[in-house]
Amino acid sequence: MKPTLLKLTGVFLILAGVFASCKEPEEPVYPVNVSFTEYSLGSSCQWKNLSYDDKVIIINSNEELKKYIECKGESNYPAIDFSKSTLILAHGTANSSHIVLSKSLQQISEQNYEMKVNILLTQLPYLTFWEMPIIVNKLNKTSIIYLVVTYKAYE
């Protein structure tokens, strides 16, 4: 009788282990910092067709990207693997020359993100434009990115 009891106890322990490991995956705790890589066009290409009104464009294909890039001669821009990545292009206007101090991207819910750009305005009073292109892991088509731009005056 003891071998049967030992086998039964073993079966119950195995089943308890299986059920304990079948927990639902935990929901992420938001906000979550999102890693990114800065993207540069190089010296022979430039951005075009941007409204410079503190907005974000989400680009998920080369066809979309070509709408916003202009290159000199036969030059080309650095390739992006859009099967794995998304290009986020934030852009805006500053009322003086500027230096981008920092940028960050956080996922604030399942489909919502917040991109923060901190800009230091210098003392040269003329209108300038800024672009902040970054590459992230592929985003869903329904993702929304809120842009928060902070301008700090140079002292």
Half-sphere exposure at residue 101, Cβ-oriented, CA atoms within 13 angstroms: 12
Does residue 120 belong to any structural domain of this protein?
yes
pLDDT at 23: 60
Entry field: residues in the chain? 155
Does residue 38 belong to any structural domain of this protein?
yes
Q: What is the pTM of this model?
A: 0.80
Provide the domain count of the chain: 1
pLDDT at 12: 61
Does residue 128 belong to any structural domain of this protein?
yes
5 or 77, higher pLDDT: 77
Mean pLDDT of 79-100: 91
4 falls in which pLDDT band (50, 70, 90)? low
pLDDT at 18: 58
Report cis status (omega within 30 of 0) of the bond before 133. no
pLDDT at 98: 80
CB 68 within 8 A of CB 47: yes
Does residue 16 belong to any structural domain of this protein?
no
pLDDT at 151: 86
pLDDT at 92: 92
Among 3-17, 45-59, 96-110, which is the least confidently predicted range? 3-17
Does residue 133 belong to any structural domain of this protein?
yes
pLDDT at 89: 96
- Where in the sequence is the domain holding 64, given as residue range(s)? 29-153
pLDDT at 95 over 70: yes
Report cis status (omega within 30 of 0) of the bond before 31. yes
Mean pLDDT of 118-138: 89
Mean pLDDT of 62-74: 92
134 or 16, higher pLDDT: 134
pLDDT, tens digit, 9 for 90 and up, residues 25-34: 677 789 999 9
Residues 6+ positions from 111 with CB-CB distance below 8 Å: 140, 142, 143, 144
pLDDT at 13: 56
